[in-house]
Amino acid sequence: MVGYKLTLILMELDTATQQHFLNGLLKGNRLLCSSIVIDLIKNNVSLKDIYEELIKKSLYEVGELWEFNKISVATEHLASAIAESILNEHYLLVASHKKINKTVLLACIENEHHQIGVKMIGDIFEMNGWNTFFLGSNTPTSDLIAFAKTIHIDFLAVSLSIYFHLPELEKLIKEFQKEFSDIPILVGGQAFRHGGGELIKKYPNVVYQPNLISTDKFIKTLYNYE
């Protein structure tokens, strides 16, 4: 019965609930958006599913509306700010009490100002017990590398939403691998809906994951802890 109930809830995330949440983002109704997430958590929907099926899908829709000039930059920024505030509200549910001795460095590439996707990826790593260092949006490659040298990291995760920023991603990969050839790089983001697979294949030790659920499964396979 519980499994059936959760299936129905997740179906709702694809229809009415998602549309309700999206409308709340576009209208700047933070209270509504927050209450939707709280209700889902109370109904035992996992944060991973909420991230993937509700927040990510809604933000992708917001991005497409902006791309086709159906909403303003101000509305897009407002929606993003509300979504990020909701992530912050539930951080205590993200932090795992069972830590492993692994660290991931997370950032957006240069000129990429959409940081929520990689922030959610950081939360997925934390749910799996990793230590995270989140550098945020528009991180210069030279500064990222300089910071990486001050700590021990096991993985780098980067995100981009704009397809035309792929050259900046390639620049980062090249420069990073000169200094850290043995550290894998995880990449993802909305930009890859338009291509970019051939670029990833050019470089060893670079992994693309299309969504948060696949990323979670990938993390769990890294060191065989489930």
Averaged pLDDT of the chain? 90
Q: Per-residue b/e over 81-114, b at no fewer than 16 CB within 10 Å?
A: ebbbebbeebeeebeeeeeeebebbbbbbbebeb
pLDDT bucket at 224, cuts 50 / 70 / 90: low
> Strands, DSSP E only, in 1-130?
103-108
pLDDT computed for residue 14 by the predictor: 58
Length of the chain in terms of residues written: 226
pLDDT computed for residue 161 by the predictor: 87
Per domain, the residue ranges of the chain are 2-93, 103-222
pLDDT in tens, 38-76: 999 999 999 999 999 999 999 999 999 998 999 999 999
Q: 144, 148, 149: which is closest to 169 by C-alpha?
A: 144
174's CB contacts (< 8 A; 6+ apart) are: 203
Give the Cα separation of 24 and 34 in Å (integer).
9
pLDDT computed for residue 99 by the predictor: 86
pLDDT computed for residue 13 by the predictor: 57
User: What CATH number belongs to 2-93?
Assistant: 1.10.1240.10
Give the Cα separation of 121 and 29 in Å (integer).
25
CA atoms within 13 A on the CB side of 186: 25
pLDDT in tens, 177-223: 999 999 999 999 888 888 888 888 899 999 999 999 999 999 999 87
pLDDT bucket at 162, cuts 50 / 70 / 90: confident
pLDDT in tens, 114-151: 899 999 999 999 999 999 999 999 999 999 999 999 99
Give the Cα separation of 191 and 175 in Å (integer).
21
pLDDT computed for residue 131 by the predictor: 95
User: What CATH number belongs to 103-222?
Assistant: 3.40.50.280
